[in-house]
Amino acid sequence: MSVSTVSKALNDNPLISALTKERVKKLAKEWNYIPNEAARHFKQSKSYTLGVIVPDLLDQFYVLAVNGIEKVASKKNYNVIVSQTHEDADIEEKLIENMIKNRVDGAIITVSKNTKNVERFQRLTYAGIPFVFFARYFSEQEYDYVSTDNVGGAKKAVEYLLKRGHKRIAHLMGPSFLKTSIQRYNGYVDALMKYKVSFDPALVEEVDLSPEQTYAAVRRLMQLDNPPTAFFTFKNYISLDVIKILKQEFSQQLEKTEVVGFGNLPLIQYLDYKPIAAIDENSFRMGEKAAELIFENIEHNDKELEEERPAQHMRIPCRLIMY
């Protein structure tokens, strides 16, 4: 029997007779034959692999995202290769090069926070590899991306604090060169306006996510003549640092100061003093959506249509979780 017949039989090609298929499959099982996927992929000029680049898997936000991506990918029999930049722009460049070398069929990328130029992403486009930006995105470029509904989530968080009677709500915002930070800030301002609470620029502090900057910002805010009674933070780790420093240096105000931020972490249940609520970004769902977008792209490419596919921008709704 020829290799071509065996190949067709194993792939359930309708041209092959039922009897032949049966015999082939029986022997394949008996001999423990497992087809060489690498050879198949090579022949088909498809890797059936998605490349994923995230900053750090110690941050469970990204692990959940990867899980969402994997759920969608495994349904399509795709492999997922995950790598981490640790926020290093040079590593990011190498990882992208590596994805091109390995001819991934598509990529999902969270840009490192230190990435300055967009050239590396264009190389993916030159190489014909579709990709979507995940969570963080890159200035004005016309690329696909999936993000949380930053404005809506921030509004929900701040409205919750307003409804609980707070008038002086501080915002610890993220680095202003990230659009994400600006959008959450905008949501904060929107909520204040909606509730006709005056906006006080002295209550907004920009931090770089390091504990030190958060501590310093909280110290400045708490020493205002009219200090905040609540904090809305850019990210859960900032919330935890806020509570830590309040406990250490402003323990009088600790009980009456309420904190809400982006990011719902499992570890929070073990805390004694914890944020009163958090915005759950639903990163699992974000991951699923990003993978779906990539597959739409891959299928669009496979069809070799002339028409360009317009850049997609998906915002995943988020929920307020009360602890």
Q: Which does 44 bind (CB under 5 to 8 A by kind): a second copy, DNA, none?
A: DNA
Shortest reach from residue 244's CB to a second copy, in Å:
7
Of 12-20, 53-61, 182-190, 242-250, the window that binds DNA (rule: CB under 7 A) is: 12-20
Which residue, among 88, 145, 141, has the nearest Cα to 119 in the 3D structure? 141
Nearest to a second copy of 58, 305 (CB atom): 58
Query: By CB under 8 A, is residue 7 in contact with a second copy?
Result: no
Shortest reach from residue 128's CB to DNA, in Å:
11
**Phi, psi for 52 (deg, rounded to 5):** -125, 130
Query: By CB under 7 A, is residue 32 in contact with DNA?
Result: no
Question: Residue 319 pairs with which residues in a beta bridge?
Answer: 280
Find all residues with CB under 8 Å of 205, minimum gap 6, and list them.
170, 171, 172, 173, 217, 220, 221
**C-alpha–C-alpha distance, residues 66 and 64, integer Å:** 5
Chain position carrying tokens 């073990």 = 270
Which residue, among 266, 269, 298, 297, has the nearest Cα to 283 in the 3D structure? 266
Query: By CB under 7 A, is residue 139 in contact with DNA?
Result: no
Shortest reach from residue 52's CB to DNA, in Å:
24
Query: By CB under 7 A, is residue 98 in contact with DNA?
Result: no
Query: By CB under 8 A, is residue 60 in contact with a second copy?
Result: yes
Q: Which does 17 bind (CB under 5 to 8 A by kind): a second copy, DNA, none?
A: DNA
Question: Residue 80 pairs with which residues in a beta bridge?
Answer: 50
Nearest to a second copy of 59, 149 (CB atom): 59
Nearest to a second copy of 126, 306 (CB atom): 126
Query: By CB under 8 A, is residue 28 in contact with a second copy?
Result: no
In the region spanning residues 38 to 97, those forming contacts with DNA, defined by CB under 7 A, are 39-40, 42-45
Please give the full DSSP string across 197-224, using - where no structure is assigned. PPP-GGGEEE--S-HHHHHHHHHHHHTS
Nearest to DNA of 8, 167 (CB atom): 8
**C-alpha–C-alpha distance, residues 92 and 118, integer Å:** 12
Shortest reach from residue 215's CB to a second copy, in Å:
14
- The pairing of strands 204-206 and 169-173 is parallel
Query: By CB under 7 A, is residue 29 in contact with DNA?
Result: no
**Residue 62 tokens, joined:** 């990204």
Q: Which does 18 bind (CB under 5 to 8 A by kind): DNA, a second copy, none?
A: DNA
Other C-beta atoms lying within 10 Å of the C-beta of residue 320: 16
**C-alpha–C-alpha distance, residues 323 and 311, integer Å:** 38
Query: By CB under 8 A, is residue 101 in contact with a second copy?
Result: yes
Positions touching a second copy (CB under 8 A) are 32, 34-39, 41-42, 47, 57-58, 60, 63-64, 66-67, 70, 79, 81-84, 97-98, 100-103, 123, 126-127, 240, 243-244, 247, 266-267, 270-273
